[in-house]
Each structure stands twice: as C-alpha cells, then as structure tokens.
Chain A
C-alpha cells in the first residue's frame, strides 16, 4: 500500500511524503494523484510535436511541416514534386504571417526546393512558436517574398493570377464562411497546362487547404505516415478517434467502480497550482475519504493483476470491452509517434472488430 510512495510517475515532483500519512492511505493516494496532476510543472519536453499539438491547426500546419521538412524532402511526396510553382493557399492571418517569415528563411536555408510553400521550410518550430508576435510585422513582405523564390514562373503569369485570384479569394471566403479569411488576396499559382479560371483556382486552393490539414492529421494519428491514400488515412483516423472514445468510456467505468468521494478543498489547491510543489500543503488540504467496495468489486479484480506494472510500461489489456496498447501517460504523445507498431496493431484489432 505504501508502494505508491515510490511511484514511478515521472511527472510527479512530490516526494514520498505521503508514505508518512498513516490514516487512509488509499484515498490519499488517489487525491495525491490529483494534486500531482494539477501541480505538475511543465515537464513535457518541448519537442516540436508537443508544441504542435497545442496550436490550432492553421498555425500547426506551418510548424508541423517545418519540423517535418527533412522527412518531407526525403520522402518527396509526389504532390510536392509536381508543383512547378508555389502555392500559398488562402488561410487566416496566422498562416500568412508564418508564411512570410518562412519565405524569408527559405531563401537562406535550403537552396534546393521544389516549392517554397510553408510546409517545406525547415524553420525551427520552437523559434516559430515563440516568435509569433514578431510575425505581425512581417505580413508586409508577403507580396514580395514569393517573387524572390519562384524559379520557373513568368512575371506576367504571376500578375495575371494575382489579379485573377483576387476574386477567387473572395469566393473562397464565401465558400468557407466559417474560416473568416481576412486576406486581401491570395497567391495561387496554376500548374502548367491547368485551367486558370476562377472556379478551378478556388477549388484548387480549397483542395490544398484540405490536403494540408489532412497531412497534419496524418502526423497526429500514429501509423498514418506510411499510409498513402486518403481513404485509408481517414480509416485510421476514424479508428483512432473511435478507440479514444471507447477508452474514455471504459476509463470512466473503471473510475465509477472505484467510486471515490473526494472531499477536497479545491480552492486552495487550485490557487496554489501555479507551478509550486505541494508537499507541505497536502496533509492540511486534503480530507480523504476511504472509498468503499473496492475489494469486493469483481469487475476490477480481473484487471488488478494486469496493472501490476510500473507506470512506464503498461501491458496490453485483456479483452473485455476495449483492446488497447497503452503507453505511459507522460510520454504518450511522444511515443505515439515512435511506437507506431503497437498503435497499428491496435488499429488492426479494431478493424477486425468493426
């Protein structure tokens, strides 16, 4: 029972002071966990992917593709290579600002580029994240920067398309009325031999937007990187979302089985949550209540033995409702990337069930 004092939760900064608590250790552990979760400082690594996840997709598009630019350039997705020009798809101001900044950087960093669109730039996503406020100024050179990078585009064509796309951006804005685009115009370049009338331009811009976000989704959902084809990727995404929902259901069932009644002085906890450790506060704040019917609950007995592992590695569950392969919580998002095997395995299982 006192093993929780040596808990292997890496996120926890609390010492093993709860071992000193004599009374009601079990519920104390439970509330300890809550406090740990609340007071855990930002120990998550500031990798690009983690920072990515907090951004809304429009911003994350930039960062994501910038962070993955080595991957992208290496794999050289066919879409990118087909482009003879560059695309700046219509989007909200965040994208455009980032685009301007990346356009400037693209000139310096990588000479060999097929398309200098934002997703190919290898800017440091950390820097990009932090220097967001600085980008408001750089929205001005947006017009001129693409001009520097184009290689195979004639000036006349570009100007024509710019003029043509002024209307297109408006129609695009009307199409996606929820997006609230605030751009005056949009840089959309047509490929060789493609129609340049208004509808196809707008549609192409829209398609580019959708593709960019699909790429983001692909990065997010583990195991989608190697899959090509929209339908399969969507399959994976659907499976992933469904599995997450099922996990929530199952976890809530588990928690309901435990039935804690937390009488916690929330106010003092929440006020002191800002980064500070709560070693000393714990005994005074918490009025733990032992929860009943824990041992007698047969529903949980089956899983007790499966959970006798350290928090770093959680085993595959025996199948009752959900069959999942869990990864340690604090690194879950990182390891979702690295442990694609386990996730695809789980996804395959889900597919069979479905």
Chain B
C-alpha cells in the first residue's frame, strides 16, 4: 500500500490544495447539476469532492482506492453520478484493478471475523479480565475498530497500515475542508 518511494510523493501543501480544487471543479462541471433538490446537489458536490480528494492521491493510498471503488461499485445509488464525474479519466483502470484485490480482502475480512468471534467466545468463557492491561487492550481494540469503520477501506488493513492511512486521510480531509470553506466564505462574502 505505502509505496516506499516517498521522495517522489512529497509535495507542498498548497499544491495539494490546488490539485484538489482542479479535480473538484472538473468533476463538478462534468456532472450535470440536478437543479431539483438541494440534497441532490449536495450529494453531487460532496461526491465530486471526495473523488477529487481520492484521485489527488493517484492511487498511492489504500483509502483513496477504496473510496473510488466503493463509489463506483455497480449497483450503488450514486453510480451514475460517479460515472459522470470520473468520465474518461484514467481512474477507471485503477478501479478495475481493485476488483481482485477486493475479493482477496473480502476473504480476509471473513477470516478476521471468524477469528474475532472465536476469540470473543473464549474471553467470555474465561474469567472477566481483571488485569488492567487487558482492559486497556480491549478498549484500544474497540477504538481501532471504530477507526476502521471511519476510514474508507479500513477493514482490510492491518494495524500499521491503518495508522498510516489515518494520517493521510486526515491530511486530505483537512485540505478538503479548507478549500471548501474558503469557497463557501467567498461565496458568502460575495453576496453581502
């Protein structure tokens, strides 16, 4: 997931913003704005923003690939929107490549779940964990699961990957929020 060639991936912060903005505007333009309801517009905006954020990473991170592939999965509600947004871009092959990986990770997920169930049964049978360390571990595990559910594609990662993806995801979210907020404030200021 994390390609070790980190030198090429370093980029200044503002260029990340610019890239995100570029992709986002492209996506916004591509999807025909349904002027029906505000919810639909909001969905379109958020979706294009998410996809823009994910594609700004160019498939180097797991969460970005998971985000795009989950958005483009056949049968999802936003499928048409996503197809519009992505358009003829090169994200398509990236998504298709993820399919076999997804199956593998689904198998992993099933395995993990079965292990978890077995472990849970054992724990319940035994005496209640009196040692504070085990309680702490239990708490930490719970929180790790929550984190997994937060990050797109998080269920398929091991712990190390999870933390790395969290780092990247939070950074990207920040960029996204910054850009969107400045646009929103600009629009507000313009209407005063």
Contacts and interface: CB of A to CB of B under 8 A. Distances in A.
Interface string B152-169: 000001111101101111
Interface residues of B, number: 76
Nearest to A311: B185
A179 B15 contact: no
B170 interface: yes
Interface stretch (A76-84, A140-148, A156-164, A209-217): A209-217
Interface in A9-58: 9, 11, 25-30, 32-34, 37-38, 40-44, 50-51, 53-58
A57 B170 CA distance: 12
B21 interface: yes
B115 interface: no
A273 interface: yes
The main secondary structure of chain B at its interface with chain A is helix
Nearest to A300: B188
A153 interface: no
Contacts of B7: 59, 94, 132-133
Contacts of A108: none
B35 to A, nearest CB: 8
B166 A93 contact: no
B18 interface: yes
A332 B174 contact: yes
A248 B42 contact: no
A252 B10 contact: no
Interface in B38-88: 38-39, 41-42, 44-46, 49-50, 62
B192 interface: yes
B22 A255 contact: no
Given A55-B6, A217-B166, 19 more contacts: A53-B171, A54-B11, A58-B6, A178-B161, A182-B4, A210-B163, A220-B167, A231-B143, A238-B147, A244-B174, A244-B176, A248-B180, A252-B180, A255-B42, A256-B39, A259-B38, A264-B25, A294-B191, A308-B192
Interface of B: 1-7, 9-18, 21-22, 25-26, 28-29, 33, 35, 38-39, 41-42, 44-46, 49-50, 62, 136, 139-140, 143-144, 146-147, 150-151, 157-161, 163-164, 166-171, 173-174, 176-192
30 contacts: A26-B191, A27-B190, A29-B187, A29-B189, A30-B187, A32-B186, A33-B182, A38-B22, A41-B14, A42-B14, A43-B14, A54-B16, A55-B9, A57-B164, A58-B2, A94-B5, A132-B10, A206-B160, A213-B164, A213-B167, A230-B136, A241-B169, A244-B170, A244-B173, A248-B50, A251-B177, A256-B41, A256-B45, A266-B26, A307-B188
